[in-house]
With several copies, the nearest count.
Chain A
Amino acid sequence: MSTCEFRPKDFKSGVKPVWCPGCGDFGVLNAMTKALSGLSLAPEEVAFISGIGCSARLPAYAAVYGFHGVHGRALPVATGLAVSRPELTVLAMGGDGDGFSIGGNHFLHACRRNANLTYVVMDNAVYGMTKGQASPTTEADWEGSKLTPEGTHIPALRPLELALSAGAGFIARGFSGDPNGLAHLIAQGIEHPGFSFIQVLSPCITYRPEQMEYKKHVHEGFETTSDRRAAFAQLMDDDNFTQGLLYRSDAPPYTPDRAEAADLDRIAGQFALAAGEQ
């Protein structure tokens, strides 16, 4: 960390977060700025892309380029940017609703496509922004939502398993209450060439106050592997609180075909007919 030119606070914008005091997302913001500073990146070389949700407000709180798009579509926006400007450092981020509910399809295909970007999901197992409905990672019997007052009756999604089956090449879990550990995971994710997925347990103290207990539950445990079989095996034993980098593959990142230059006139030339000779 001795080479860093920008300190973590140089990556903060000064805009006051709308987050509730105590929200886990503060820790994630800190971890991100720490990671960027540690990688000696300049703020203008970095782009934060998000959808909609409490967590998706994050880009405005960083001093990097940001795009706060529509609900669920952070990944395609980030993909368009990463693919067309490969020299940038692109991070996508948002909540569990944004990423796994409305945005589930893009998550699936981002895992497969393996464009060079890092996706950080601040998972609080609830829709915070809309005042507390069940998300895909919410437990089936959580009765805290007025929309499903007797629970959803649907088992919680397992994001890491999904990412692994969908083909992601970097899969990790962190905790907002451990900004240093999380910063390290994010830095590794950024350095990984291709799509990196980091699920971050990030408590919503307002609608899931019981998540303040997360700090008691989280534990180290993943052994980083590049063998899908071994990764699946670890997930079978996972209690959803295991931390660390689970899986890393060296599949090449997605780079669409680019060839040598032709000029537009040559391209237009294909349509010209030989002049009539009659």
Chain B
Amino acid sequence: MPDGSISLAIMGSGGTGVMTAGQLLLSAAGDAGWYGLMTRSFGPQIRGGEAAALLRLSSRPVEAPPDTYRLVLAFDWSNIERFAAEIPIDASTLVLHDPDAGPLPAPIAGAGPRTAEVALKQMAKGIEGGRVNMIALGVLAALAGLPVEPLEARVHQTLARRGEAAVTSGLRCLEEGREAAATLGETPEPLTAAHTPRWLISGNEATGLGALRGGVRFVAAYPITPATDVLEWLSPQLPRVGGCLVQAEDELASANMCVGASFGGTPSLTATSGPGLALMTETLGLAVASETPMVVVDVMRGGPSTGIPTKSEQGDFDIAVHGLHGDAPHLVVAPNGVTDCINATQWAVSLSEALQTPALVLSDQAMGQGRAIVPEPALRDVDTARRTPSEGEANDYRRYRVTEDGVSPMSLPGMPGGAYTADGLEHGETGTPSSQAAHHQAQLDKRRDKLERHGYGDYWADIEGDGVLAVITWGSITAAAREAVDRLAADGIDVRLISVRLLAPTRPADMARALAGVERALVVEQNHGGQFLAYLRGHYDISAELVAFHRPGPLPMRPGEIVTELRELAKREAA
């Protein structure tokens, strides 16, 4: 773990307020000028099951999960066997537990951590209206070295609506927690505060914001975990910018509503997860053939089928890139961090509008539901202008005219002279259905060419560092890969990081440039089959040796795992 970062896990059974404690700690850390990330882990119960809040607080921006947790605080050990694998600990971990909760369970004790008892329940009982989670918050904040003021302010703000007594009791709990912490003889990590502007945002909120900034003004929604919060965040925002959201009866409807709104000229989006995406592919093919822009955000979860709805995985690469029937080139964009969800989604909207083809945004549960304190984002400018016919073009208007760059002017309902019928049947330039080979070839070429000929600029990938070794990756696990690269750099081993944001279409020349001089590259992804690796092999000509590193979810991809693989790679090179 790099200096200036501390990781904590808080866990307990339903109703104990684990998440509230985690959120307060995160926001207070933000107010204190720190950076941080919080993810949540829930049991299968709809409500009130055991839960864990997993935090990492840092002096520097941080989006990767830690390798192990420094501090683990358990209210109780309810169903710990379901959680244990998600909270790696080792001998350096300090496990704080309530003696009332019984002995340390095997999965915890086995790692041989340092332990200390904190009589949370008993202390809470001693305070009028006292709550276990507030005491825990006091303990953890003190052990993390978090200044008192911002935490008290946040607690004050949160409890205020429950009345003064609640506030007093909450602050009392914090204090007792702090005192209990002082008796443990631990020295907090010295985290330094940033004085730059920062945001507190989740990936799903960032995706929503990116959509609005990209110009999306129509959203069709069908709820699905873990994408629902994108839609729920957008719902009250859209009317404020003149847009609207419609709840659809299913994903077939939501995708087709987007087609209809977009046909009318309104940039449109829906968000879903794997099972919903599967239901949308027929309509995505229609958008390809009819050249209708639209954006579908897929917040990936464990698959296949219903899979593991609340946990992250990068298993939808294949369906996103190859899941449409027939030859149906389209855009696939993967944000590679919480903040990047803003810009990447915005970019997807503008590419989709400019290229008149559907764009998929591949996010995932870890990034989407991860809540991070990030540097104020550098927002990219984009203009989402759809090409409409010039006056000249409106005479003899041909909707699917073959042009130099493959993009044809698109008239919108209401424009005189521009009437045409969009069609998912193969068609000639006017849109009239045709089964002739020449028309088919021309339109297939056009639909491919417009994607290949577009200038995507540098934003197609993040390329960092140099060296003959590389990591090639995509999506949320980029943060872990970046941290791994940093750690190797600290050991004097240079590794280039290539995080591909534009997954489709391919960028052969750009990739060749990015990989110039690279001899071996580790291809890192979080799925079982190595879907991205096969794509790189099948669709690119890469001379560097590609070494696979992929494993499925639900455990987050940790920097240390990648460090281990990279060290192997470095050794092989030396040999």
A positions within 8 Å CB-CB of B:
13, 15, 18-21, 42-49, 52, 54, 59-60, 63-73, 75-85, 87-88, 101-102, 104-106, 108-109, 127-131, 133-134, 136, 146-149, 152, 206, 256-264, 267-268, 271-278
Contacts and interface: CB of A to CB of B under 8 A. Distances in A.
Given A20-B48, A133-B223, A106 B253 contact: yes
Contacts of B379: 268
Contacts, number: 270
Given A73-B252, A130-B224, A64 B419 contact: yes
A258 B414 contact: no
A48 B268 CA distance: 20
B306 A52 contact: yes
B31 interface: yes
B416 interface: yes
Given A85-B265, A267-B241, A278-B193, 8 more contacts: A59-B421, A67-B422, A68-B423, A73-B283, A77-B259, A129-B46, A273-B27, A276-B195
Nearest to B416: A44
Q: How large is the interface on B (under 10, 10 to 19, 20 to 34, 35 or more residues)?
A: 35 or more
A147 B228 contact: yes
B256 A80 contact: yes
B419 A63 contact: yes
26 contacts: A19-B46, A44-B418, A65-B413, A65-B420, A66-B420, A68-B423, A69-B290, A69-B424, A70-B305, A76-B255, A76-B256, A77-B260, A79-B246, A80-B261, A83-B218, A83-B257, A85-B265, A128-B46, A147-B228, A147-B245, A152-B247, A206-B46, A259-B240, A271-B199, A273-B198, A276-B195
Contacts of B432: 15, 60
A18 B266 contact: no
B264 A261 contact: no
B556 interface: no
A147 B223 contact: yes
Does more than half of chain A's interface fall in helix, strand or loop, or is it mixed? Answer: loop
Contacts of A54: 46
Given A20-B48, A67-B422, A271-B199, A147 B416 contact: no
The list of the 9 closest CB pairs from A to B, nearest first, reads: A276-B33, A80-B260, A66-B421, A80-B257, A76-B256, A77-B260, A80-B261, A102-B250, A256-B244
A273 B256 contact: no
Contact of A267 (B212, B217, B413): B212
Contacts of B48: 20-21
Contacts of B217: 84
Given A60-B433, A66-B421, A275 B250 contact: no
B23 interface: no
Contacts of A59: 421
B222 interface: yes
Contact of A84 (B261, B373, B433): B261
Contacts of A136: 249
B113 interface: no
A129 B222 CA distance: 13
Interface string B488-526: 000000000000000000000000000000000000000
B17 to A, nearest CB: 17
Contacts of B243: 258
B46 A70 contact: no
Nearest to A129: B46
A122 B243 CA distance: 34
Nearest to B213: A264
Contacts of A267: 209, 212, 237, 240-241
A80 B32 contact: no
A70 B209 contact: no
B376 A133 contact: no
B275 A70 contact: yes
A257 B259 CA distance: 20
B236 interface: yes
A20 B47 contact: yes
Given A43-B419, A52-B306, A73-B256, A68 B249 contact: no
A68 B425 contact: yes
Contacts of A19: 45-46
Contacts of A69: 256, 259, 286, 290, 424
B90 interface: no
Nearest to B285: A70
Given A81-B264, A84-B244, A130-B224, A42 B416 contact: yes
A276 B34 contact: yes
Interface of B: 27, 30-34, 44-49, 147, 150, 193-201, 205, 209, 212-213, 217-218, 220-225, 228, 231-232, 235-237, 239-266, 268, 275, 282-283, 285-286, 290, 305-306, 373, 376, 379, 411, 413-425, 431-433
Most chain B CB inside 10 Å of its own CB: which residue of A47, A77, A101, A102: A77
B283 A149 contact: no
Nearest to A77: B260
A264 B250 contact: no
A127 B263 contact: no
Contacts of B259: 67, 69, 76-77, 80
Contacts of A131: 46, 223, 225, 228
Contact of B252 (A76, A128, A271): A76
A71 B278 CA distance: 12
Contacts of B209: 267-268, 271
A84 B418 contact: no
Contact of B33 (A83, A88, A260, A278): A278
A60 B423 contact: yes
Given A66-B420, A152-B247, A130 B225 contact: yes
A88 to B, nearest CB: 5
Nearest to A152: B247
B283 A70 contact: yes
A275 B266 contact: no
A147 B232 contact: yes
Nearest to B251: A102
Contacts of A66: 419-422
A22 to B, nearest CB: 10
B258 A258 contact: no
A146 B258 CA distance: 21
Contacts of B247: 133-134, 147-148, 152
Contact of B414 (A67, A88, A257): A88
A245 to B, nearest CB: 26
Given A76-B248, A85-B266, A147-B231, A44 B239 contact: no
Contacts of B47: 20, 206
A261 B201 contact: no
Contact of B242 (A42, A64, A81, A258): A258
